[in-house]
Amino acid sequence: MPIRAVLFDKDGTLLDYHLTWGPINVAAAEIAAAGDRALADRLLIHGGMDRTSMITRPGSLLAAGSTMEIAAAWVAAGSPFSLEILASRLDALFTASATGSVPIGDLDTCFSALRTAGLTLGIASSDNEASIRRMLDHLGLTHHIAFVAGYDSGHGVKPGPGMALAFAAALSLQPSEIAVVGDNSHDIDMGRSAGAGLVIGVLSGTSDAAVLMPIADACLSDISELPTFLAPHIAA
């Protein structure tokens, strides 16, 4: 079937992961550690981030996990807070920090080109839904996006198929009529398990070609290449 809609991951796909999330992850670990710098450093390492380089490891907890998954892992690793309190504090931080999002390239131009080609666009992220919507408002992109799903939107979490299936259902499309685009194996696995028509990796986030090429249908440098790539797959 031709592709009629595109579901994007957010961090590493639309936003520069390291510039956007490096400082946020440090702040999150410091919240979870209740001011204990040594514990904060251990939590960052446990999450897959190096405080010195500010780089997050591909496929790690911080690169792909939801707020609840991060909070649960950090509580198990020594955070003095309960799961519910820590998750609430992390979500508040993530939502407040959405105005510091650093986009990858000219998202408005890319989204405009895709919509002009007849595609409907959505976002599925392991972040909370409020953070996604605040980011879109901050960057002036809300009008481009017809569907938003976070880990707390009721469609399950990645790598499960729920968000992609909900996107297709919301548009009255078959899953084979959507393309899923992401920088992480969780994104690729979500699209594949949902039966997406195309599952596309981008090298702009935390994963490299060695991770994405064996599991994706295609691997692009970033989403600026997407309008040209999708052109042969779009319905006339």
Main-chain phi, psi angles of 24, to 5 degrees: -65, -40
The rounded percent of the chain whose pLDDT value lies above 90 is 96
The rounded percent of the chain whose pLDDT value lies above 70 is 100
**Residues 208-230, mean pLDDT to the nearest whole number:** 97
pLDDT in tens, 185-206: 999 999 999 999 999 999 999 9
pLDDT in tens, 50-65: 999 999 998 899 999 9
**Banded model confidence at residue 236, pLDDT cuts 50, 70, 90:** low
State CA 39 to chain mean position distance: 27
Q: pTM value?
A: 0.93
Report the chain's mean pLDDT, rounded to a whole number.
96
Residue ranges, comma separated, of all CATH 3.40.50.1000 domains in the chain are: 5-16+103-233
- CA–CA distances in Å: residue 180 to residues 23, 96, 196, 225: 28, 27, 7, 14
Provide the pLDDT for residue 59.
86
Provide the pLDDT for residue 235.
75
pLDDT in tens, 127-176: 999 999 999 999 999 999 999 999 999 999 999 999 999 999 999 999 99
**Banded model confidence at residue 66, pLDDT cuts 50, 70, 90:** very high
Q: Which run of H or E residues covers position 8?
A: strand 5-8
Provide the pLDDT for residue 145.
98
Provide the pLDDT for residue 58.
87
**CA separation for the pair 42, 45 (Å, rounded):** 5
**Banded model confidence at residue 92, pLDDT cuts 50, 70, 90:** very high
Written as one string, the DSSP assignment of 106-148 is: -HHHHHHHHHHTT-EEEEE-SS-HHHHHHHHHHHT-GGGEEEE
- The CATH-assigned architecture of domain 5-16+103-233 is 3-Layer(aba) Sandwich (3.40)
Lowest mean pLDDT among 17-21, 49-53, 174-178, 232-236: 232-236
Residue 153 burial (CB count, 10 A): 18
